[in-house]
A and B are shown apart, each in its own frame.
Chain A
Amino acid sequence: QKEVEQNSGPLSVPEGAIASLNCTYSDRGSQSFFWYRQYSGKSPELIMSIYSNGDKEDGRFTAQLNKASQYVSLLIRDSQPSDSATYLCAVKAAGNKLTFGGGTRVLVKP
C-alpha cells in the first residue's frame, strides 16, 4: 500500500524560530511532491512543490527532497502566529493521483 507518513504534532514553535516538518513516503516511483497548508475550517492551499533532489526556496518556506531516502521536508523560517495551521504532505507517483499524509499541526506561540 502506498503511504505517506507525517508526525501529527502538534509542533510547537516560538515566534521567529524555524519550524521543521518531515514527511516520508513508501512509493519509490513517486515523482512529484507538494506541501499544502490548511487552516481550521478551510480547504488546503498549495504552498510548495518540488520535483528534484535538493532544496527549493520560496520566501520563508524551503522544501527539501531526498528521493534516495524517500524523504521530503518543509522548513518555515521566522515563524509567525499566522503560520499556525495543519501542513499536509502530498505525493504523486505515475498518473495524476495525489496521496496525502495525515498532516502535521503547527502551533506558533507569540
Chain B
Amino acid sequence: SAVISQKPSRDICQRGTSLTIQCQVDSQVTMMFWYRQQPGQSLTLIATANQGSEATYESGFVIDKFPISRPNLTFSTLTVSNMSPEDSSIYLCSVEYRDNEQYFGPGTRLTVT
C-alpha cells in the first residue's frame, strides 16, 4: 500500500485563525480524500481532492471554510479557515490505491481554543 504522511501531526490554534494541513503520498494516486473525525465519532467525508480542478465537497462542507488544493498526483492540502472550537477534530487524508481500497494517513489532531 502507499505510504501517506501528514503535517502537522497535531496543533493547538486560537479561534479565528486558519491552519493548513498537508498530505503527501509516496506514489501517484488518482483519488485523494479528506475526512474529519470528531471526538468519539466515526469518519465523515469532507471532500474529494481532484487534481487540476476544484474539490468536490460533501453536504455540509463549503469551500470557503475548507479550501483544498491538489497541485499534483502525490500532494494535497486542506485548510481549516476561521476556526472555532467546534472545528476541534482529527483530520485525515486518504488515497484510493490498488483497485478500490482506501488507505489513511496518520491524521492531524486539531484543538481550537
**Partner-B contacts on A (CB < 8 A):** 32, 34, 36, 42-46, 49, 51, 88, 90, 92, 96-103
Smallest Cβ-Cβ distance to A98: which chain B residue: B102
Least distance between B22 CB and chain A CB atoms (Å):
15
Q: How far is the CA of A42 from the CA of B58 in the complex (A)?
A: 24
Q: How far is the CA of A92 from the CA of B94 in the complex (A)?
A: 14
21 contacts between A and B (CB under 8 A): A32-B100, A34-B101, A34-B102, A36-B104, A43-B90, A43-B105, A43-B107, A44-B43, A45-B104, A46-B1, A46-B101, A49-B100, A90-B102, A96-B33, A96-B48, A97-B45, A97-B48, A98-B102, A99-B45, A100-B43, A103-B42
Q: CB of B53 within 8 A of chain A? A: no
Contacts of B103 in A (CB 8 A): 46
B106 x A96 contact (CB < 8 A): no
Q: How far is the CA of A96 from the CA of B1 in the complex (A)?
A: 18
Residue in contact with B31 in the complex, picked from A36, A49, A96, CB distance below 8 Å: A96
CB interface residues, B 88-113, toward A, < 8 Å: 90, 92, 96, 100-107
Q: How far is the CA of A88 from the CA of B41 in the complex (A)?
A: 11
- Main secondary structure, interface of A, reads strand
A43 x B106 contact (CB < 8 A): yes
Contacts of A102 in B (CB 8 A): 41-42
Contacts of B43 in A (CB 8 A): 44, 88, 98, 100
Smallest Cβ-Cβ distance to A45: which chain B residue: B104
A88 x B42 contact (CB < 8 A): yes
Residue in contact with B104 in the complex, picked from A43, A49, A92, A97, CB distance below 8 Å: A43
Q: How far is the CA of A46 from the CA of B33 in the complex (A)?
A: 15
Contacts of A51 in B (CB 8 A): 100
Least distance between B94 CB and chain A CB atoms (Å):
8
Smallest Cβ-Cβ distance to A49: which chain B residue: B101
B42 x A43 contact (CB < 8 A): no
Contacts of A103 in B (CB 8 A): 42
Least distance between B38 CB and chain A CB atoms (Å):
12
